[in-house]
């Protein structure tokens, strides 16, 4: 399929190339920010699982030049102005002093993470691995966040998402599940936006004894005010002109009483007049310079897939195009 076909089917892919973003995911952070004002008063921000660096790019372009931006990833990342890029494992104990050093030993205002594993197709495993990645990011975040700070991370809205919401709820004043319009509706991904970091008294974060592994999650203070079905009395994000139905006591069986669950309120962010990531659009006739529109090349080629050598082997053997080589 031609390049411009992808431009038609994915407006954010096209826009990312035209606006110089390393990946279309930049728009997800921009839309999250327009909803939650994440960058307001944020001067020290940490970007975890940052490569190829589109979220760091957003930080670099949006935050004032005096800000401290530190980006971490396992993979090397092309440098960005105003951003300190570190190659490090977020779960490793040595990463914390390294990170704090680059933050000038001051707590961070905001920690963000767009990390996700390569999905296998085994849904429960993929959700589990993603939740572990999120918890690892959270664990590092708790070590560097100032009280009242924010945490934004990618989440898979699958079977056990309510357990993850409940865990986050223990440490933050407000947990919202947000889906930017630039994130495909057909994708299981969304973002948790955690505002107002407020760990309970006596909570000592550490990378040695991570949350959920070495350390149990603290008891949520919010649970008392939560409704019988695990919801709290938060305001719902309803569209204009619809009425909320107040549920009576829900029936049905409570199947797994051991694990706390919480359904975070949902918000679709980004303006409805923004592009729809699921829709197909006609391509513009002229570009921003008034020239005839042409499909642009991506800013950064995608990182080499782990099966690159396998592809080369197959090519040498004269096999077909390797139709099965796709990962998802």
Q: Looking at residue 93, what DSSP letter applies?
A: T
Give residues with Cβ within 8 angstroms of 226, minimum separation 6: 232, 233, 262
> 224 or 239: whose CB is closer to another protein?
239
The residue within the footprint of another protein, chosen from 17, 102, 154, 179 (CB under 8 A), is 179
In angstroms and rounded to an integer, the radius of gyration of the C-alpha atoms of the chain is: 21
Active site residues: 154
For position 102 contacting another protein by CB under 8 A, the verdict is no
Residues between 13 and 72 that touch another protein (CB under 8 A)? none
Give residues with Cβ within 8 angstroms of 134, minimum separation 6: 113, 153, 154, 155, 164, 192
The answer to the question of whether 73 is labelled as a binding residue is: yes
Q: Could you tell me whether strands 68-73 and 83-87 are parallel, antiparallel, or unpaired per DSSP bridges?
A: parallel
For position 276 contacting another protein by CB under 8 A, the verdict is yes
The whole-angstrom separation of Cα 248 and Cα 271 is: 33
110: closest CA among 155, 56, 162?
A: 56
> 201 or 239: whose CB is closer to another protein?
239
For position 241 contacting another protein by CB under 8 A, the verdict is yes
The residue within the footprint of another protein, chosen from 88, 148, 174, 298 (CB under 8 A), is 88
The answer to the question of whether 53 is labelled as a binding residue is: yes
Give residues with Cβ within 8 angstroms of 205, minimum separation 6: 139, 142, 143, 199, 211
Candidate ranges 38-46, 197-205, 292-300, 308-316; the one touching another protein (CB under 8 A): 308-316
Give residues with Cβ within 8 angstroms of 52, minimum separation 6: 22, 23, 77, 78, 300, 302, 303
For position 215 contacting another protein by CB under 8 A, the verdict is no
The answer to the question of whether 270 is labelled as a binding residue is: no
The answer to the question of whether 55 is labelled as a binding residue is: yes
Count of residues that interact with another protein, criterion CB under 8 A: 83
Q: In the complex, what is the shortest distance from the CB of residue 2 to another protein, in angstroms, rounded to a whole number?
A: 10
The residue within the footprint of another protein, chosen from 40, 87, 101, 146 (CB under 8 A), is 87
Q: Which segments are annotated as binding site for S-adenosyl-L-methionine?
A: 53, 55, 73, 89, 114
């Amino acid at each position: 399929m031609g390049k411009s076909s992808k431009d038609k089917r994915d407006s954010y892919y096209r826009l990312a190339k035209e606006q110089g973003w390393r990946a279309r995911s930049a728009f997800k952070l921009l839309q999250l920010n327009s909803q939650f004002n994440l960058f307001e008063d944020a001067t020290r921000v940490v970007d975890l699982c940052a490569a190829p660096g589109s979220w760091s790019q957003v930080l670099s372009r949006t935050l004032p030049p005096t800000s401290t931006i530190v980006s971490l990833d396992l993979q090397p990342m092309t440098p960005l102005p105003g951003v300190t890029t570190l190659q490090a494992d977020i779960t490793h104990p040595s990463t914390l002093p390294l990170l704090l050093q680059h933050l000038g030993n001051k707590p961070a205002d905001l920690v963000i993470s767009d990390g996700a594993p390569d999905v296998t197709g085994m849904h429960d495993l993929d959700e589990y691995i993603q939740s572990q990645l999120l918890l690892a990011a959270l664990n590092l975040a708790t070590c560097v966040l100032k009280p009242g700070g924010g945490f934004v991370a990618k989440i898979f809205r699958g079977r056990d998402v309510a357990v993850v919401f409940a865990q986050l709820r223990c440490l933050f004043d407000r947990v919202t599940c947000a889906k930017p319009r630039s994130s495909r509706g057909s994708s299981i991904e969304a973002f948790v936006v955690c505002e107002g970091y407020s760990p309970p008294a006596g909570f000592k974060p550490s990378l040695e004894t991570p949350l959920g592994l070495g350390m149990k999650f603290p008891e949520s203070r919010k649970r008392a005010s939560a409704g019988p079905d695990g919801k709290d009395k938060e305001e719902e994000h309803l569209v204009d002109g619809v009425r909320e139905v107040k549920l009576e006591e829900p029936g049905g069986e409570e199947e797994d009483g051991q694990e706390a669950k919480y359904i975070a309120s949902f918000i679709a962010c980004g303006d409805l007049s923004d592009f729809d990531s699921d829709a197909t659009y006609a391509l513009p006739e002229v570009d921003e310079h008034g020239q005839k529109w042409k499909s642009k090349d991506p800013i950064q080629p995608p990182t080499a897939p782990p099966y690159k050598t396998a592809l080369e082997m197959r090519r040498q053997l004269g096999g077909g195009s390797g139709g099965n080589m796709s990962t998802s």
